[in-house]
Amino acid sequence: MEWTLNRKADNPLYQQIYEIIEERISYGEFPPGSRLPSERKLAQELNVNRMTIAHVYDELQASGLVERKKGSGTRVSTHKWGILPKGVTNWRKYIESGSFIPTYPLIKKIRDEAKQMKGGYNLASGELSPDLFPTHLLQSSFTDLGISEDLGSVNQQGHLPFRETISQYVKEELRIGTTSASVLVTSGAQQALYLITQCLLNPGDAVAIEAPSYSYSLSLFQSAGLRIYGLPVDKDGIDPDDIVNLYEKHKIRMIFLNPTFQSPTGSVLSESRRKKVLEISTRYGIPIVEDDPVSLLSLEGDRQFPLKSIDNSGNVLYIGSFSKVIASSLRVGWIIGPQSVINRLADARHQIDFGLSIFPQLIATQILQSPQYRIHLDDLRAELLERRNEMVSVLSEVLGDRITFTIPSGGLFLWCKINRKIDDHQLVGEALKNKFLYMPGSVYGAPNGYARFTYARIKKENMREAVMQFADALSRVP
Amino acid sequence: MEWTLNRKADNPLYQQIYEIIEERISYGEFPPGSRLPSERKLAQELNVNRMTIAHVYDELQASGLVERKKGSGTRVSTHKWGILPKGVTNWRKYIESGSFIPTYPLIKKIRDEAKQMKGGYNLASGELSPDLFPTHLLQSSFTDLGISEDLGSVNQQGHLPFRETISQYVKEELRIGTTSASVLVTSGAQQALYLITQCLLNPGDAVAIEAPSYSYSLSLFQSAGLRIYGLPVDKDGIDPDDIVNLYEKHKIRMIFLNPTFQSPTGSVLSESRRKKVLEISTRYGIPIVEDDPVSLLSLEGDRQFPLKSIDNSGNVLYIGSFSKVIASSLRVGWIIGPQSVINRLADARHQIDFGLSIFPQLIATQILQSPQYRIHLDDLRAELLERRNEMVSVLSEVLGDRITFTIPSGGLFLWCKINRKIDDHQLVGEALKNKFLYMPGSVYGAPNGYARFTYARIKKENMREAVMQFADALSRVP
């Protein structure tokens, strides 16, 4: 919720707040019978004194707009005022319907804090910092945007010239062979995962995911009614034999992997394990969904290529995206897979949103076709390497043997074990007091005492300060 | 599926086709065991002689890439070739999973024909013709696009400055009061409907829709497992008393209405019925979803305002979009409703695709803020009025008393009854032979013998020719 208060206006704050609430009640945004935010919560959101809100609510009650009862808070009056009708929809019954599981509370808390926090150190978000976006490429893509295209027809599978550009791009940069007919453009990797879990699986199906993994934090698996089984990840990724065990025990129907610079651990599935995973996948006929946001971001050693680059059997559904190499707000991702699967997903997609807006696709086409894009990728890798190095040295200096970590060879994240028993909720809370945000391991299904730090979002020169804040928070947790 | 053949190349067509299929098999796009398109279908798609395809398939068989069996068509070989593994995923089992109902076959057929047809008369699509898009506004919006915004953070509810622009816009143009906090930006009206059916209702719930209606053609209601009951539409829209009957019989939980220039009938819910519908909605606590793509396109008489403009109880969830006034490929729509509902839908949306790309939102903001936009709307209405008039006079002249229709006072569609018994499938088929596309009433749940003609997509000067083709097709149907 956003409220715009004018702290320099002539009319006092309490009056401004009163007027906004009155207006929103008259618009039906707070329907008769619905509950207003608590005094405490609203005061916090608006950054005003709680007494101010109490005063506003008193006035609203005096004018008959709201009713206040001990225990049930402040509700919009159900009896007539003005042209308000007497009856009203019980929206609560509707909001509790449907199969969408609300976002995991701890994640929601961290996300909300990140939005409201001014200053501070955000090592929680999985995004690049804005200075890493290819701003010049975006800017020049706008100038070059033509609109000769037929803007009236939406291609539910994705704009054809863009799909052709993508298939060229993945061939050159990722060694994945595909044709435009087998590419489905999605609204980021998230929609790709959503389509796959909703359209290719049934409620009750068993699937395997890495443990810990980013997927664990996604309520979409639970929302689709899937049973989730974990494949433990070590520094070389998952152990392929675990797949066979899960298959024999639970008849898993799909495997979700992020084999290259995995989130949160940063590990890379080793060459020999990749071959074995593919071999098992084809022997048992269990398809693999490869989520690959960052394989382009190899920071040292040999370039890592996706699992899909060595799959000729069409057993791997590949998910790519530009969120971590251009900008997440572009919302462009894609799926590569067998023709029949792509057709099915494209048809379902038509029901969900008709297809992606043509504009992000035109912009992405311009960017990919620019020779500057390769230079941007080199610059990005160089900058990320510096940030990673700084984080590694600062962590070692400041926290020493209080923590253990493996240096990630690519991607955006450093995964860190705290060498004593610790409660994640407590540590998150203490860190928040120091304006330090990170992702605790438990949201990824790890035991308490792990932390995922994003080194891509914080500038090198702020790294030491940030880690000091974390160390300070850690010292306060018993 | 798209195949690019080069008819001027040195290597013959059959060789080009052979190479594409070989390549696609090697990429896993046609996995081992999967079926290739039939000779007939592929020949049609590529616009080549069927013998050419037969020749290609023979060659593929000779090299061991495919196997051909009477009755089961041409399949990619499952025994080893090159590095192909022996096992493979049975994708068919996966494709048949999930709750998404495939698109209604007759609609899919018309849509596919529309894509492939060169020339001809498309009165089926519900879109504007490209010459009606505000091309100059789009073009200048690109030049003015700034990227000072934080491109790294996606607001799942929609970009805040855009939501503020929308709430101002609907206040001025549609008399809807709202604040940015209660606006959710969606990927067009389709995603708005998807979110509402998936998140606010449960499988098995009963809902009411207009009969005939556009909603009937949307598999999304069936995919969500809803029971659908029809509210018959006459020239003044639905009869409010029918809602009460449906409520008493089936306990309907939601009403989906397109009250202004309804698709397909073009009818407008009358003033007195609007009041009664709202009164019933609040008395029984049944919320209304108002789908309103075209109320801005009043072509004559008084401007029509949405139902939402007279709702103060928050009983109406309002769905708007730019698809019919800017361009459908922009994919920008929005929902306006009670705060609690918007919050719930925004949270679910985060699981589906994180939120809409920022670029269509920035573009739409530029367009709405331009004073030229109001001029565009005036021009658009003037042009649509001319096209409607031309269609009305041509239909009367050419078809006379073979048809009956009411002149629509706004929107994009003319709804037409054929004054004799006719089979929709047959008429669609005959019309296709004349390259004339229209939507038969049966896809909207009407009896056979109705037609929806879009007058927005065809130029005035082609209207007579188009209607002549339709008349010719009609005369051939027994």
- pLDDT of amino acid B150: 67
pLDDT of residue A437: 95
Query: CB of B428 within 8 A of CB of B393?
Result: no
pLDDT per residue as tens digits for the range B371-381: 999 999 999 99
Residue A315 with chain B: CB contacts under 8 Å? 28, 31, 88-89
A139 contacts B151? CB cut-off 8 A: no
Both tokens of residue A146? 């033509």
Mean pLDDT score of chain A: 90
pLDDT of residue A105: 79
Q: Measured between alpha carbons, how far is B394 from B466 in angstroms, rounded to an integer? A: 10
Task: Give the domain-ending residue among B301, B336, B370.
Answer: B370
For residue A133, give the 3-state DSSP assignment: coil
On whether both A359 and A406 belong to a single domain, the answer is no
- Reply yes or no on whether the pLDDT at A213 is more than 80: yes
Q: Return the residue of A nearest to B337 by Cα.
A: A29
Do residues A317 and A201 both lie within one domain? yes
* pLDDT tens digits, one per residue of B144-176: 777 666 677 788 999 999 999 999 999 999 999
Region A235-251: mean pLDDT is 96
* The pairing of beta strand B66-69 with beta strand B254-257: unpaired
Same domain, B191 and B337: yes
Claim to verify: residue A356 and residue A381 sit in the same structural domain: no
Question: What pLDDT sits at residue B87?
Answer: 57
Q: What angle do CA B361, B363, B369 make, to 5 degrees?
A: 100
Let me know whether B390 and B352 are in one domain.
no
> Which of A90, A177, A328 lies closest to B285 in CB terms?
A90
One-letter amino acid of A360: P
**Peptide bond preceding B212: is omega within 30 degrees of 0, i.e. cis?**
yes
Per-residue pLDDT band for B84 (boundaries 50, 70, 90) equals very low
Residues A83 and A205 occupy one common structural domain: no
What pLDDT does residue B81 have? 46
Final residue belonging to a domain, choices B370, B405, B420 = B370
Place of tokens 């004559």: B300
Mean pLDDT of chain B: 90
**In whole angstroms, what is the distance from residue A224 CA to residue A222 CA?**
5
Question: CB distance B331–A357 less than 8 Å?
Answer: yes
8 Å CB contact between B189 and A351: no
* Structural domain ending residue among the three candidates B42, B73, B95: B95
For residue A312, what pLDDT is reported?
82
What pLDDT was estimated at residue B2?
A: 65
Q: Is B240 in the same domain as B350?
A: yes
3-state secondary structure A317-352: EEEEECCCCCCHHHCCEEEECCHHHHHHHHHHHHHH
Sign, CA dihedral B267-B273-B277-B280, equals negative
CATH code (residue A382):
3.90.1150.10
- Contact state of B200 with A135 under an 8 Å Cβ cutoff: no
In a domain, B2, yes or no: no
Of all residues in chain A, the percent with pLDDT exceeding 70 is 96
Residue of chain A minimizing CA distance to B217: A351
Cα–Cα distances (Å) from B398 to A439, B248, B390, B416, B474, in that order, read 70, 46, 12, 14, 12
> Is there a contact between A89 and B313 if contact means CB atoms under 8 Å apart?
yes
Domain contains A8: no
Q: Tell me the average pLDDT across A144-161.
A: 80
Residue B279 shares a structural domain with residue B414: no
Domain check: are B146 and B171 in the same one? yes
How much is the pLDDT for A2?
A: 65
Of A453, A457, A456, A477, the C-alpha closest to A467 is A453
* Residue A4 located in a structural domain: no
What integer pLDDT is reported at residue B154 of this predicted model? 83
Nearest CA in chain A to B1: A181
Q: How many folded domains does chain A comprise?
A: 3
The pLDDT value recorded for residue A425 is: 92
C-alpha distance from A69 to closest chain B C-alpha (Å): 20
Q: Which residues of B touch A351 (CB under 8 A)?
A: 100, 103, 190, 194, 218-220, 223
Residues A130, A134, A137, A141, CA torsion sign = negative
DSSP H or E run through A172: helix A160-174
Structure confidence by residue, pLDDT tens digits, A176-210: 999 999 999 999 999 999 999 999 999 899 999 99
**Given this model, what pLDDT does residue A80 score?**
46
Length of chain B measured in residues: 478
The domain in which residue B44 lies consists of: 13-95
Which alpha helices (DSSP H) does A308-460 contain, by range?
339-353, 358-369, 372-399, 424-433
Task: Test A330 with B359 for CB contact under 8 angstroms.
Answer: yes
Of A220, A327, A358, the CB nearest to B329: A358
Residue type, B247: Y
Coil/strand/helix, residue A151: coil
| Residue A32 covered by a domain | yes
Chain B residues in contact with A313 by the CB 8 A cut-off are: 28, 31-32, 84-85, 87-89
Find the radius of gyration of the CA atoms of chain B. Answer: 25
Q: Shortest Cα distance from B52 to chain A (angstroms)?
A: 21
Quick one: average pLDDT of B118-130? 89
Nearest to B31 among A142, A205, A314 (CB): A314
Q: Please tell me whether residues A142 and A185 are part of one structural domain.
A: yes
- How open is the CA angle B49-A168-B139, to the nearest 5 degrees? 95
The predicted model gives A402-417 an average pLDDT of 96
User: A182 and A253: one domain?
Assistant: yes
pLDDT at B393 over 70: yes
- For residue A447, the 8-state DSSP code is P
The tens digit of pLDDT for each residue in B306-363 reads: 999 999 889 999 999 999 999 999 999 999 999 999 999 998 898 899 899 999 999 9
Does residue A81 register a pLDDT over 70? no
The answer to whether position B5 is within a domain reads no
How does residue B101 score in pLDDT terms, banded at 50, 70 and 90?
confident
CATH code for the domain of B52? 1.10.10.10
Chain B CB contacts of A218 below 8 Å: 351
Non-local (6+) Cβ contacts of B31 within 8 A are A313, A314, A315, A338, B76, B88, B89, B91
Q: Percent helix, strand and coil across chain B, each rounded to 5?
A: 45, 15, 40
Q: What Rg do the C-alpha atoms of chain A give, in angstroms?
A: 25
Which tops the pLDDT comparison, B87 or B228?
B228
Say yes or no for a CB contact (<8 Å) between A3 and B191.
no
Domain-embedded: residue B51: yes
In a domain, A206, yes or no: yes
Q: Encode pLDDT of A346-397 as tens digits.
A: 988 988 898 999 999 999 999 999 999 999 999 999 999 999 999 999 999 9
* CA B308/CA B407 separation, integer angstroms: 25
Average pLDDT over residues A127-144: 86
Q: Nearest chain B Cα to A339, which residue? A: B29
Option in A95, A102, A254 nearest B340 (CB): A95
Q: Is the interface score ipTM higher than 0.85?
A: yes
Which of B351, B437, B459 best tests the A interface by mutation, with the highest count of A CBs <10 A? B351
Report the pLDDT averaged over residues B227-245. 95
Instruction: Count the neighbouring beta carbons within 10 Å of the beta carbon of residue A115.
Output: 9
Q: CA dihedral in degrees (A418, A419, A425, A426; nearest 10)?
A: -110
The CATH code of the domain that includes B145 is: 3.40.640.10
Calpha distance B42→B64 (Å, rounded): 20
Question: Cβ contact (<8 Å) for A347 and B83?
Answer: no
**Residues 6+ positions from B196 with CB-CB distance below 8 Å:** B254, B289, B317, B335, B345
* Long-range pairs for A302-307: beta carbons < 8 A, 24 or more residues apart: A304/A260, A304/A261, A304/A268, A304/A409, A304/A410, A305/A174, A305/A175, A306/A174, A306/A175, A306/A176, A306/A259, A306/A260, A307/A257, A307/A259, A307/A260, A307/A269, A307/A274, A307/A277, A307/A278
Cβ contact B107:B436 at 8 Å:
no
Of B151, B154, B352, the CB nearest to A194: B352
DSSP E strand boundaries for B195-244: 206-211, 227-234, 237-238
pLDDT confidence band for A130 (50 / 70 / 90)? confident
Confirm whether B174 is domain-assigned: yes
**B219 class by beta-carbon count within 10 Å (0-12 exposed, 13-18 middle, 19+ buried):** middle
Give B254-322 as a DSSP string: EEEE--SS-TTT-----HHHHHHHHHHHHHHT--EEEE-SSTT-B-SSSPP--GGGG--SS-EEEEEES
Q: Are A268 and A259 in contact (CB under 8 A)?
A: yes
- Asked if pLDDT for residue B302 goes beyond 90, the answer is no
- One domain for residues A282 and A195: yes
Average pLDDT for residues A284-305, to the nearest whole number?
Answer: 94
Measured in angstroms, the CA of A7 and the nearest CA of chain B are apart by 19
CA–CA separation, A251 vs A208, rounded Å?
10
CA atoms of A112 and A44, how far apart (whole Å): 13
Residue of B nearest to A223 (CA): B351
Which amino acid appears at position B113 of this protein?
E
How many CB atoms sit inside 10 A of residue B112's CB? 10
Q: Please give the pLDDT value at position B47.
A: 86
Q: What is the pLDDT of residues B170-207, one digit of tens each?
A: 999 999 999 999 999 999 999 999 999 999 999 899 99
Which residue among B130, B151, B186 places its CB closest to the CB of A327? B151
**Confidence band for A149, pLDDT divided at 50, 70 and 90:** low
pLDDT over 60 (residue A311): yes
Please give the pLDDT value at position B391: 97
Cα of A400 to nearest chain B Cα, Å: 32
Angstroms from B188 CA to nearest CA on chain A: 7
A156-170, A218-232, A276-290: segment of lowest average pLDDT:
A218-232
Q: Which of A263-272, A349-358, B74-83 has the lowest mean pLDDT?
A: B74-83
Residue of B357, B376, B458 to mutate when probing chain A, most A C-beta within 10 A = B357
